Structure 1
Amino acid sequence: MQTSSSTETDETIGSTGGAAAVVGREVEAAEESELSRRDRRAAKKAAKMAAESRTDRKHAMKLWLYVAPLLILVFLFSYIPLFGWIYAFYDYQPPIPLSESKFVGLQWFEMMVQNPAQLRTIGQVLLNTFAMSGLNILTSFLPVIFAIALNEIRAKWFKNIIQTLTTLPNFISWVLVYSIAFAMFSSTGMVNDLLMNLHIISEPIKFLDSPDQVWLKMLLWNLWKGLGWGSIMYLAGIAGIDPELYEAAQVDGANRFQQIIHVTIPQLMPTYFVLLMLSISNFLNNGMDQYYVFQNAFNQKWIQVLDLYVYNVGMGQNSLSLGTAISMLKSLVSVGLLLLVNWLSKQAYARRRHRLIRIQQSRIVYWVKE
């Protein structure tokens, strides 16, 4: 009996041990299977990340290829010419090489502030520059109004005609613009001929030769040439406004004018302020071509802006070193204006964000109290 009982016990232990071994192998197999699944998932994730990394690198490379020509142009025409600033520290008289020219240090910079005649001339030039740049900034809202008015035209064919006629002058050179102005407003131009034939005037009016209202005349020519082009950005902004905003305004009973005041203009303000900041940073960069073609002996005192003055000093008076010194100071002031505008924009953004956070917090407090 004991033998059979021990035998049964051994069999039971053996079967139990076999079952445990089977279970152990199954557990090990399950663990190995789980590990293999994890490994496969990890491998797939790693492969996916590697593929995404390669895609990102290819995309970044494409972006760099797109930007590379612009960077090359900026480097060639904006940074390499900075080496020409060295002329401001020499008494350079072409065709004498720079290596044989006399080093004068800060002589030209001192002359700008110590020579009374030079100081008066630069003061008048700065006055002209500030006046014309200021007028351009004060009238920077006109493209917004023109874009809104153009957008309200329902006849598409008429809208296209107006947009084409107002945008086309931007592609006309200032030399051709002056040719048109001379044909119309010179002493023997069409306007004077018409007024004299109608016996309205007895002598030709000097529209182009008179020094009166030179700033206003330049502003009007600038508006005529750039109004349509300047409105393109705002037309694109109007096209991107969410139509649901207009639908909500219509539901509230707003007419078309009220929709412009409360929907269109507020949506265009971010674009307007960005362009305004950029124009302020270019406050001293009026350009030269417009004022160069319209200048003459009668209006030169009031039309000569900073860029034109640098050209007249450098090329007209053969004083390249003084012209370089003036241009160098203008560039440094322009960089300072750019940094100032950038700082002001960041401050405005921070204040606006802080105000929005305070409004949201007040709303949350109100909801909690309710």
Structure 2
Amino acid sequence: MGKPDGKVADDAVSLRTNPGESSRATYSDNDDLDIPETAIDDLPPNYTESESLLPPPDAQTAAPGSGLAMAQTPFVEDAMRFNDLNTGAQYWMAKSLESPANLERHIRHLAAIPPRPYIKLVGTHIETTRDSKGKMEKNTITDFDVSIELTPYLYSDAQYRRSWDYIRTVENGEKVRRGTIFRKRAPGSNQSIEVGGVPKPTLQEWCHRYSASHAGLKVFALQRRMTGFDEEHVKRKLRELVNRTNYRGHLKVELVTKDSLIECYNEARINKWRLTTWIQMLFTFTLLFIFSWPYLWLRTKRWEVVVSEWPFSRIADDGTKQYVSISEDQWFNMWGRAISSAVLRKRQALLDQTDLRRAEEPEPTFESGNSTVDGAVGLFRAGISAMDEVNRHLGWGGDC
């Protein structure tokens, strides 16, 4: 996601109002994973939990910071919404969105909802076997697939939707689609405003340009982004964490962002067809997409000019780095034990607060009153612990 540049564009509009807000220092920032008990009790809520903390306000009167609640109902009555279940992308189509005022309000409405970034760790190994005919086969086996959501840490107070997010339009020097098929810079972008350059258009101006276009197929896009997150630093620490378990398979650590793309299409029969699932599947299976994709690509004019940025951190005027909630090291110290435990248990799951608390709590005792049952439970736990220790010392997950 990149590091923050420390400056916010002049036309950037904050979607939150947090006067006097400062970064909280709740968690210990040590490399030995020493986590204070208060850290576990003061965790931000899950994304899904935070949706129910406030009642859904009316979209017209919702206060700044209530973005998740605002999104529960469509902003425009005639809207058709299509969702990509894999990426979380949303595609909207409504005749009313061809009005510049409605389009601007709709974009601001959706920009108040955060992206959903995840840290994902996947471990695999290659297993070679013989089939019934004696032929060698290689199969990829997934050892673990663990994800942790970062969305709660984009808020300084998730319950009241306090964050540092803002909406901005692209700079003249950025290569993006500006009502065009190809990406390009704005005319005269090599000149600064001081020497006669044209200032970049505002969101309102871009909405008017979109509405004034006579293109038969057109799309107005919004990108939601997490900024100020040191992705490479976190990846490096997670790789070191997994390597300390003596894992010998193929490890992939990546940052995956869902709910990042919003596209508003003009009302047209072809646009409705291109977003209908069964039509997409029909064109895929019959290979008609070979002909339809170039046609759609050449006919569709795209405006990719608006960005909703959600800072994980930012650079203050005095040059110091400020975090909206916790730092990357604090996040790692908080989640390190839970991730290590999930990897050793070969889990394939999204970790949540339950996993975080369980990693910090001692193993619960079980006494049934029956010595035979208690002995069996004790042997089972001892066997799991022994397997973990053997894996740590001798290695596990290698190709075979």
Taking structure 1 as the reference length, the TM-score comes to: 0.21
Larger relative helix fraction: 1
If you compute each CA radius of gyration, which structure gives the higher value, 1 or 2?
1
Taking structure 2 as the reference length, the TM-score comes to: 0.20
Larger relative strand fraction: 2
